[in-house]
Structure 1
Amino acid sequence: MKKSLLALLVSALALTSTAHAAEIYNKDGNKLDFYGKLKAMRYISDADTNASNNADKSYVRIGFKGQTQINDLMTGYGQWEYQYNLNNPESDSNVGNKKRLGFAGLKFGNYGSVDYGRNYGLIYDVEAITDMMPEFGATAYTSADVYMLTRTNGVATYRNSNFFGLVDGLDFALQYQGKNENASRSDSASNGDGMAASLSYKLIEGLSIKGAVSSSNRTFDQKDTAYGRGDKAEAWATGLKYDRDGIYLAANYAETRNMNPINGTAQVAGNDVAVSGYANKLQNIEVVAQYQFDFGLRPSLAYVQTKVKDIENGIGDADYYKFVDLGATYYFNKNMSAFVDYKINLLDDNNTLAKNTDDIVALGVTYQF
């Protein structure tokens, strides 16, 4: 295999886990691809404050993507994805397993596509450009099932590429999320009705700008807390990405209101105060730089900082996450890679919300198809 071809393959692999799905059926306008990933991984940390930071983190992830040609204009499609954790004994084999994606929809040529189910929220359209670290990407404010920050339930999504085929590089999306609240869901994983939108434009070859906004009703229990004011949970994010000739640079900035759960023990006037509620305001910045060498090596450098603002009861502002990420992935070919990712925690030992301050090294080998 030529070195330049290997660089192209692993660059595509770094950007999407389904770049090399196995085609299992393709006939008469019907196509079905099966994809998967086995990540054999260990976290290493010398701190005793959190046992999960020094433990096996292996898992296998599988899914399928299918489509069917209905007529000259209309195409049906669907995707499902599930993760099985491999770090539990057989007696607890279901612990931590999770349904990641499951949606179906219709595409109408240049008029766009509409789908419904468990899918990515549109704020992740921006977060995705910095979710590139070998292991610790998208670990600050974009938790799953927190409104439309990342994977979530009950979203109807409309997407349009190249603005109805009229403007190359101009993509937009609209999203509606129905209320998710019942006895089996925690308050932090519940939501009221909401809307979101995202926009992306390719400025020049390799350089694009992205933005996204969302606004949702909060549930009664979310509003009935000591921390977190307001009837609406809101978010916005914007970012820039440059991806060309092996160079990958990306940065984004995001803010949320009354959306992200905050928990911990804060020091106020020398006294411990239990904090359990939602951040009135959160600010997040992420920067990532990577380079793809022809022989398969992809080093990575990133910085992440998340602050929560205006916490009640005299607590004020506090750092929520703050770390430098040093990583590298070596791609043996399109299916096999090895990686190391070092999360250097920059939070002070006596940080306001008593957040974990462990440094963590992730080591692993990944097979995917």
Structure 2
Amino acid sequence: MMKRSLLAAAMLPLLAALCPVQAAEIYNKDGNKLDLNGKIKVSHMFSDDSNNDGDASSNLQGGFTGETKISDKLTGYGSWSYQFSLHNSEGGSDAQNGNATRLGYAGLKYGELGSIDYGRNFGLVYDVMSNTDMLPFFGSDSDYNDVFLVGRSTGLLTWRNTGFFGLVDGLNVAAQYEGKNDRTGSTDQIIRANGDGFALSASYAFDFGLSFVGAFASLDRTDAQNNLSRGHGDKAQHWAASVKYDANQIYLAAAYDETLNATPISGGFANKAQNFEAVAQYQFLSGFRPSIAYISSKGKDIENIGDADIIKYTAIGAYYYFNVNMSLFAEYRINMLKDNNPLGLATDDVMALGLVYQF
């Protein structure tokens, strides 16, 4: 998942050096600009659960963002990002697993009217969930890609406006439409389908570091989804809200959301789910950034089960920033699910260690 900038302002030169690099400018002339960005993350997990033990997530992410000045008020832009898995063997049957287009969209921005773009982009529900998507390794458990505008999705028409048409500083609004993406085959493919739908989001940020954001999404479900053993209904819906404080080297965020027929579980979807995420971090000037978080998702009215925990854990970890390009991370996930839980989910703890180079 995408990690937000870790420091809001450069209070001291050392503090400025700790901010993650956003891009390397490779061209800027005559109103045309092109930035290159990339990140190599190598990591290893340790657990008694074989599915969470070993190298399963090392990857290379790379892409570019460009813009062109068309007139005084009109700007064109585009962005593309791809992920290559680093843990697969050469020429093996799994050589393509983990390789995917993360983002790819193009659009226009006109003055205070805002921007509009189309392509593979983040669903607006992620405007809320991104506030807690800050953990060193884990987290983002409620952010399912290609599932009802929660994470990255395909075929999104997105309009964004910052400052509410120039009238209210700090107030941002957005609207989004996604057309039908019908998928058949395995249950995993069917889960990542969707019918026509939309999302809305709004946020307000105070100048002292406090901000609020809310989002709503509603999409039609496909016939194949309603034929799965769990989760039935014409609509998949999502309500989400979060609060964040990011100032004075302190980062605090919490998010709460509810879904209807939209949270994937074994056999399909939970008819209803209640999700909560919270994270607290502090940035020391030495480069050390400890982190603690709590993540939970509880399914309601699940067929043949009733209520059941889907996700529940506490994560304790830290980043260490050597400089602007290099960082080290470690995190321990304390699984709080009960043994022999109704959904048959793993209950083992997991430790993750990793190193990141980015530019």
**Interval containing the TM-score (normalised by the shorter chain):** over 0.9
2:150 alignment partner, SS class: coil
Answering whether residue 221 of structure 2 is matched by residue 221 of structure 1, we say: no
Tell me which amino acid in the other structure corresponds to 2:298: K
CA distance in 2, matches of 1:284, 1:233: 15
Tell me which amino acid in the other structure corresponds to 1:331: Y
Residue of structure 2 equivalent to 1:89: 89
Residue of structure 1 equivalent to 2:3: none
CA distance in 1, matches of 2:357, 2:129: 25
Deviates more, 1:300-309 or 1:196-205: 196-205
Residue of structure 1 equivalent to 2:107: 105
Report 1:68-87 matches (<5 A).
68-87=68-87
- Alignment root-mean-square deviation, CA: 1.5
Answering whether residue 300 of structure 2 is matched by residue 298 of structure 1, we say: no
2:232 alignment partner, SS class: coil
Shift of 1:174: 0.2
CA distance in 1, matches of 2:51, 2:312: 20
Residue of structure 2 equivalent to 1:157: 158
TM-score norm. by structure 1 comes to: 0.91
Alignment check: 8 A CA contact 2:183 2:192 kept: no
5+ long unaligned stretches in structure 2: 1-9
Tell me which amino acid in the other structure corresponds to 2:13: L
Alignment check: 8 A CA contact 2:279 2:294 kept: yes
Residue of structure 2 equivalent to 1:146: 147
Report 1:1-369 matches (<5 A).
4-10=12-18, 12-13=19-20, 19-45=21-47, 47=48, 49-92=49-92, 93-138=95-140, 140-183=141-184, 186-263=189-266, 276-313=267-304, 315-369=305-359
Number of residues of Structure 1 aligned to a counterpart in Structure 2: 346
CA distance in 1, matches of 2:279, 2:290: 11
Change (3 A) 1:316 1:213: same
CA distance in 2, matches of 1:319, 1:279: 11
Percent of residue pairs bearing the same amino acid type: 52
CA distance in 1, matches of 2:185, 2:273: 27
Tell me which amino acid in the other structure corresponds to 1:292: Q
Shift of 1:56: 4.7
Write the deviation string for residues 187-232 of structure 1: whole angstroms up to 9, x where unpaired: 1110000010000012451001110000000001112233212100
CA distance in 2, matches of 1:164, 1:250: 27
Tell me which amino acid in the other structure corresponds to 1:360: V
Tell me which amino acid in the other structure corresponds to 2:336: L
CA distance in 2, matches of 1:78, 1:161: 18
Write the deviation string for residues 327-364 of structure 1: whole angstroms up to 9, x where unpaired: 10010111001110111111111212111112111101
Residue of structure 1 equivalent to 2:6: none
2:12 alignment partner, SS class: helix
Alignment check: 8 A CA contact 1:21 1:34 kept: yes
Residue of structure 1 equivalent to 2:4: none
Tell me which amino acid in the other structure corresponds to 1:193: D
Shift of 1:290: 0.3
Alignment check: 8 A CA contact 1:318 1:353 kept: yes
